[in-house]
Structure 1
């Protein structure tokens, strides 16, 4: 009895340590992302400022030439005062004064822009240092998490083995049934409905051909062709969702790139993908799991978040695989339990089966960030 209590106490301590370290790493990820975003904005502002500085220098140099010529003209007028009329003298003086005033203003604006440029460059250097420090801290924390996770697994290995075997079989059956229901719904709502509509439109084409004009018939044929093309896309999408062949042939990173390019174009949404580390193959079950996690995360952002920009980051480290999906959508309150949130539940269960962690950071109106960490040993 005492031994069991000690094991539970040790488990609690290790889990609390892992939770604290994991939250620290997630926070570092957020800081890094915010620093990168600010860096991009400052870089744009710096480029614009440099262009303005160059323009002011060129304009100032050109105006300085004009001022020099005008001074010579003024000197000539002053020397031969009696040769020029009063209006000519006034015009020379006024022009020279106006150009000198404009030149002084240009040089002052140029100095302000130079100071702004120098300040932006200093801020960019600081942000570069912040990003580098955050990435260094994230790597160190990953090492700490690996040690903690390894210790926890060693302590619980004997206890968890029997329970995992029992639950694993049940989860496979549940996953199969869920997949069957999903495919059935997609076929019913997608290709089946479209094929029924195509049949009705084909009858309309027949009637139009018999009783309508040639232009009307061609228009109906084009409409049917468009529906067939859309139906074919849906069938291919369902087949791709079942098992993308590129995953077996090319691996995880190229498959994600291809999938994101396709879904971004189809849904007219900007999706940025950033792989970190070497593009190397990992075990098949991990490639499938992370592809499905990425797929479900993107679908949630597109269907429920009303996002216009989604950022996906995949890091394949020596001991950990991490996935971050961040959108600028409408967000939600994670503390409020939502009905039928099967997508997030499925993602969480899949991560738990890999002994990983999934955290969701979201606020209403502030978008959503999903961070996944799964232990994995490449050696």
Structure 2
């Protein structure tokens, strides 16, 4: 078998493995959804039973409370006129009152435990309902990807001549997509999801505080909840902005870039200097998106990996050329050593090459990093 045929065979094998993996993932997600649905039904039934028990205990407690009040009145009468009653009668009234008070105390404690169980079940049901929705949505997306892989992906092998490059290209795309999904999942889980879960718990606490401590304490708790909601909203907006800033379509590249850099500066507590030279004008959407993403990736690398404290971003538009310079004072790296999973730089190179531009990266250990990009914007 020739080298080319062997590479093509290997690539076809990889594609088949990918299809099998995606198919298995779809089945696993379906199983997760079904298991969550069964658990949801089970917990929902348990919740209904718990609510009935709580209602029954409330009615029973109200009845016991009335009996305790009557018994206390009887006890008061006996205490005031104890000479009219025998020692046995007085003891019997005391014991009856004590027994009713104990029963009432146990009733209230059990009611409190059942209420806590009810709240926990409702919280778990909400999480399961969200899991079911996400599983269904993800299953639908995987079906689309699976159809694409089965019908269209094999055509890529007919377009690219070198099988090794085709394999590397396909795997990089998939790994980059999975890394982005993991990043978004982590950000949503650690940010808005956690905050909203805390909001739900604190909202229950507001109700309990109002009943037990009064309106002033409840208002204080509500202010705390409002602050948490505001933080969650900020996190959601930041994630959406990272995915696609809407201002890019409405205001253009320069205002959006200034706002983005100011946000990064405030959020990460670092100094960012922005310089704009030449004419500030609107470009075709593909160029504005490309320039914004390139600057975004370079800045994110400086913030996350280089641990920079100062970043200088300069953009110059002269005639039919745009020049970008992003320089930081971070820890730098050795450009001759390829880092594992360095998809950010790979993505930058592919985007620049796609637009027929030039990219150069100058860096050294403890010497910072300088990224220079030249893009033609006349095509």
TM (norm. structure 1) is: 0.49
Q: Output the TM-score relative to the length of structure 2.
A: 0.49
